[in-house]
Chains A and B, each alone.
Chain A
Amino acid sequence: MSMPAIEVVLYTGAIGLSVIGLAGLLLHNNVFRMLLALVMLEAGVNLLLILAGFRLAGVAPIILPEQMHNLSAITMNDPVPQALVLTAIVIGVGVQALGLALIMRIKAQYGTLNMLKIREQLEFDLAVQAEVSTPVSAHSPGSLAQGRVRRHVSEAITQKDEQ
C-alpha cells in the first residue's frame, strides 16, 4: 500500500520519538533524564494518535446545517483522537509536574538522582523499617547492591558526581 510521502515522514517521526523516549528510559540512570524521556515517549504516542485521525486535505470537523444531508461527501479530520490527545497532554503534564516535585523531594532526602542508588537506599530503608536488618537477599548473585556497606560507597560516589 503506497502512502503519501508526508505521512511516511510523520509516522516515522512519531514512532521515532516514541522509540527515543523508550530508549531514554532504558538507558539512563538519572531520574530527571528518565522523566524527560517519558515526556518524549508521551509526545511520540500523542503524535501517533493525532495522525490516526488526520486526513490529507481534510477540513475541521464542524458540520454545518446545509451539509447534514450529504455527510459522506466531505473529508473531515477526525475530532475524537484530537480530544483524546488533548486530555492525554493535560494529564501528562500533571503527572510530569508531580514527578518533578517527587524528584525534588528525593534529591533532598537521598542526595542523589541516580536510580540505582535510590533503589538501593529504598530497599535498605524498607528492610530497616521492617526490622530485618539488611536488605533481603543482598548477597544474592547478580545484585548490584551490597547492603549497608554499599550505602557509604554510594554516598561517596554522589559527592563525586556533584563535583
Chain B
Amino acid sequence: MDNIVLLVVLPLLAAFLMPVLARFSEVVARVLGLSVLVFAIAIIINVWPQVNSQATSIAIGGFMPPIGISFYVDQVSILFALAIPVMVLLFWPWQRKTSIREYSLMMLLTASSSGLVLSGDLFNIYVFYELLAVASYSLIAVQGRAVSIAASFRYLLMGSVGSVMMLLGIAIIYTQTGTLNLAHLSLLAPLHLDNMAGLAAFALILVGMGVKAELFPVNNWVPEVYGSVSSNLAALMAGLLSKLAVIVVVRIMVLLFPQPEAMQLMAMLGILGVITGELVAWRARDFVRMLSFSSIGQLGLIFLAFSIPGDTGMMAGIALALHHMVVKPALFMLATGWSGSLENLSGVARRSPLTVLLFVLLILSLLGIPPLPGFWAKYLLMVGLAGQDSAVYTLGMIAVPLAMIVEIAYLFRLVMIMYRKEDTVKVKAHSKWGLAIAASAGAALIAIVLQLQPAGDKLTTLAQQLSDRNYYIMTVFPQFHTAETGMQSIK
C-alpha cells in the first residue's frame, strides 16, 4: 500500500533525470518516462482491490498525522490517480518530434497531479498545485506556436494571482485552527471555520483553484490557451487537470466548509459559468473555440452539481465530471482534423461518415439524451437541484435547461454543416491515434449504457465516500471510533 507514494516520487525523479539522461541517450530517456507511467498504472491496479474494500491514509516517512504529512487513498482519489497516468499516456505527444523537455514536463505534470489528488493536507495540496501550474505554463509555452507564448504568459499571470489567493486562504485557515492536515482540520472545522473568516478562506481557495478548474470569473485564459496548444494538450487540460482541481476543491469543501453559504457561492459561480460558457460557444466560429467554451459550460455544471448538499448532488457531480473526462478529450481529438473554421467542415459527413457519427454520439451524450450516460448525470443534477429550497438552486434549475437549449442549437448547427451537400475539401485527416481515442470514448459510453446498473452502484459508492466526512476522519485517525470522540479529544 505504501508504494502509492511512488506515484508521485517516480515521475518526479524521472522528470529531472530525463534531461540529464538525454545527454547520453535520448532513447533511454524517452523509454524511462513511458516505463514510469506504465509502472504507475501497474501500482494502482495492484492496490485497487485493497482500496475498494477500505480507504487508507499513508503517513509519509512514518510521521503520523497531524504532524506528519499524509496521503489519503480512497475510491475517488484512486480513480482519478489512475486516470492521470492513463490519460498522460493517451495524450503523450506521440505525433510530433519534440524536445526531451516536453517529455520531462509531462512527467512533472504527472507527478504533481498525482500528488494533488492524493494529498491529505493543505500544505501539500498548495505545493503540488503550484508544481502543476508551473508544468502546465511551460507545457503551453513549449508548444512551439507564436500564440502559445502569449497565451501562456496571460495564463501565468492569472494562475499566479490565483495561487497567491489560495495561499492567503490557507493562511487564514491556519490562523483559525493551527493545523493543515485535512482530517484534523475537519475535526476542528465546526469550531473554528464555521464563521466569516472561514468563508473568506473558502472563497479564496475556490478562486485560486478555480483558475485551473475553469471556474467562472477566472477562466478567460481557456479559449486562448486551448486555441494555441496542440489538441493533445488541450484534451489533457480540459479532460483531466480541470477535474483534478474540482475534486480537490470539493474535498476541501466537504471536509472543511459544510456551511451553506460556501456551497451557494460555488453554485452561483457554477451557474454563471454554464450560462456564459454556452452563450459564447453559440457565437464561436471555429471548432476549438466552440469546444473551449463548451468546456467552460460543462465545468460550470460540474461545480453546480457538487455544490448541492447531499448524496444526489455528489453523485451528479462525479457522474458529470467522469463523463466530461471521457467526452471532452474525445472531442478535442476530433479537433485534430477539424480545427479551424466551422464552415470548412461543410459536407464532411460524405467524406468520413463514421467519424461524424461518432461526433454525433459524443455530443448527444454531452447534451444528455437518454439512454446515454450523459443523461443520467443530468437527471441526477436536476433531481438534486429540485430537492433544494434555496433560491440559488432554483436559479440553477432554470439556467441549466436554458443553457442546454443554447448548446443543442450550436452543436446541431455544426452537425447541419457537416451533413451539407456541398463539400469544401478543406478538412485535414485525423491522426489515427486521436481517432482511436475518440472511438474508444464512444465505445466506453455505449458500454456504460449496457452496464447501467453496476455503473450506478459504483457511482453511489463513490459519492458516499466523497461526501462522508466521518469516514475520512476515522481513516486518518483510526484511534477515534467516531468523529464525536475525536472532537472531544481535540477540545
Q: How far is the CB of A8 from chain B (nearest CB, A)?
A: 16
Cα A25 to Cα B151 with chains together (Å): 17
Set of chain A residues within 8 Å of B164, measured between Cβ atoms: 38, 41-42, 45
Which A residues lie within 8 Å of B137 (CB)?
Answer: 95, 98, 102
Is B217 among interface residues, defined by CB-CB distance under 8 A? Answer: no
Cβ distance B153 to chain A, nearest Cβ, rounded Å: 4
How far apart are A88's CB and chain B's nearest CB, in angstroms? Answer: 6
Chain B residues, CB < 8 A from A102:
137, 141, 149, 152-153, 156
Docked pose: A144 CA to B439 CA in angstroms: 43
- A25-B288 contact, Cβ under 8 Å, with A52-B171, A99-B156, A129-B227: no
Pair B171/A45 contact, Cβ less than 8 Å: yes
Residue among A48, A84, A105 making CB contact with B149, cutoff 8 Å: A105
Say yes or no: is A91 at the interface (Cβ < 8 Å to chain B): yes
Interface segment, one of B24-32, B243-251, B313-321, B338-346: B338-346
Chain A interface: which size bin? Answer: 35 or more
- In the complex, which residue of chain B has the Cβ closest to the Cβ of A43? B164
Q: Does B147 contact A (CB under 8 A)?
A: yes
Q: Cβ of A126 and Cβ of B146 under 8 Å apart?
A: no
Contacts of B283 in A (CB 8 A): 136-137
- In the complex, the answer to whether A95 meets B134 with C-beta atoms within 8 Å is yes
CB-nearest residue of chain A to B284: A136
- B150:A122 contact, CB within 8 angstroms: yes
How many Å lie between the Cα of A135 and that of B141 in the bound state? 22
Are B227 and A130 interface neighbours, CB within 8 A?
A: yes
A31–B146 Cα distance when bound, in Å, is 17
Q: How far is the CB of A159 from chain B (nearest CB, A)?
A: 20
CB neighbours of A52 from chain B (8 A) = 171, 174-175
Q: B146 contacts A49, CB within 8 Å?
A: no
In the complex, the chain B residue whose C-beta lies closest to that of A136 is B285
Contact between B157 and A34, CB atoms less than 8 A apart: yes
A103 touches B153 (CB 8 A): yes
Binding stretch for chain A, among B77-85, B123-131, B260-268: B123-131
Complex CA gap A5/B130 in Å reads 35
Contact B134 A91 (CB under 8 A): yes
Q: Give Cα A53–Cα B133 distance, bound, in whole angstroms.
A: 27
CA distance A148 to B134 in the complex (A): 33
Q: Does B138 contact A (CB under 8 A)?
A: yes
Interface on B for A, CB 8 Å cutoff?
123, 126-127, 130-131, 133-134, 137-138, 141, 145-147, 149-154, 156-157, 160-161, 163-164, 167-168, 170-171, 174-175, 178, 180, 223-224, 227-228, 283-289, 339-341, 344
A and B contact pairs by CB, cutoff 8 A, 9 listed: A83-B123, A84-B180, A95-B160, A98-B156, A102-B137, A102-B149, A102-B156, A122-B150, A136-B284
